[in-house]
Homo-oligomer: A and B are copies of this chain.
Amino acid sequence: MERIKLAEDLSFSRLVYGLWRLANWKQSSGQTLDLLKYVYEQGVTTFDHADIYGSYTCEELFGVALAKEPSLRQKIEIVTKCGIVLPSPQRPNHKTHHYHTSKSHIIASVDQSLKNLQTDYIDVLLIHRPDPLMNPEEVAEAFETLKKDGKVRYFGVSNFKSDQLTMLQSYVSEKLVINQVELSPLVLENIEDGTMNACLENRLVPMIWSPLAGGKLFSDMSEKGVRVREALTEVQKEIGAGSIDEVAYAWILRHPAKTMPIIGTQKKERIQAAINALQYELTLDQWFAILHSSLGHEVP
């Protein structure tokens, strides 16, 4: 599988496996390990976490599975995130859903993630959401400390807009390598508001969450949803794809910023759809037909 170079000594697989819903799948650690190995055998070596996924439980479920086959760690890249504080049965002292990006919180969050994931290092740590109270000097200090201590190799952000990206980067000495953002044929916000351009300008790669709009690509019965599904189906026929999600992945992969879609399913059929998409390069006619179906009109 194609690999995307993020730094001199770091590359990700073009497709990333997301563990967002791992807790929902109610698997044994053996089943989880089998799934990870299956994904890995397809060429997907990059795994996306956040401290809060599964209400603070997914990292640990992954760590327990990984501990069954420790040699896997060196062959994969682990991304995790910090900065959201969530009320949760696992965190009874959390009162309000809020952000926390102080130096001490970032470092404590990473320490907990390392413990949960049963690993010595995170490949890339992301600030999960732009925090209106983010003190960029503190974040920069936290990043330096974590790098120096070997706990995190590289740093990035998630859901950051252009102003937040350039502001934080101006305080952080090392180049941020990732901005994880939402993009799908149904959700164009980050194309329309300049975030994708900001990624290109700042030379950081967008990881794409909800490439299938969290399943709405299949189920959204709004006018827009129906229109987009029709356009995807049309292109599916033209290219001989097996399903519309293949087309959606191919649509995202066509973007010049080297988008890395996150696969969020444990179903092998759906994982395979993402992998199949790598073989297609949509024509511009096809790409814009899908764009137009989402916009509801042609580009000017």
- Interface residues in chain A, defined as those with a beta carbon under 8 Å from any beta carbon in chain B: 85, 95-100, 129, 132-138, 159, 161-164, 166-167, 170-171, 191, 194, 196-198, 200-201, 254-256, 284-285, 287-289, 291-292, 298-300
Contacts and interface: CB of A to CB of B under 8 A. Distances in A.
A289 B96 contact: yes
A231 to B, nearest CB: 11
Contact of A133 (B287, B289, B300): B287
A53 to B, nearest CB: 15
Contact of A170 (B96, B164, B194, B201): B201
Nearest to A102: B284
A171 B299 CA distance: 24
B201 A287 contact: no
A85 B298 CA distance: 12
Contacts of A161: 194
A284 B298 CA distance: 39
Nearest to A137: B256
Nearest to A96: B285
Nearest first, the 8 closest Cβ-Cβ pairs linking A and B are A163-B194, A98-B288, A135-B256, A167-B201, A167-B197, A96-B285, A163-B197, A95-B285
A186 B209 CA distance: 32
B201 A284 contact: no
A292 B132 CA distance: 12
Contacts of A298: 96-97
B291 A132 contact: yes
A153 to B, nearest CB: 26
Nearest to A139: B256
A182 to B, nearest CB: 10
A200 B96 contact: no
A256 B163 contact: no
A298 to B, nearest CB: 5
Contact of A129 (B85, B133, B137, B300): B300
Nearest to A164: B197
A97 B167 contact: no
Contacts of A164: 194, 197
Contacts of A191: 132
Contacts of A162: 163, 194
Nearest to A130: B197
A223 B162 CA distance: 32
A256 B96 contact: no
B299 A97 contact: yes
8 contacts: A98-B284, A99-B288, A133-B284, A134-B256, A162-B194, A163-B194, A164-B194, A166-B201
Nearest to A255: B133
B132 A284 contact: no
A163 B85 CA distance: 32
Contacts of A163: 162, 194, 197-198, 201
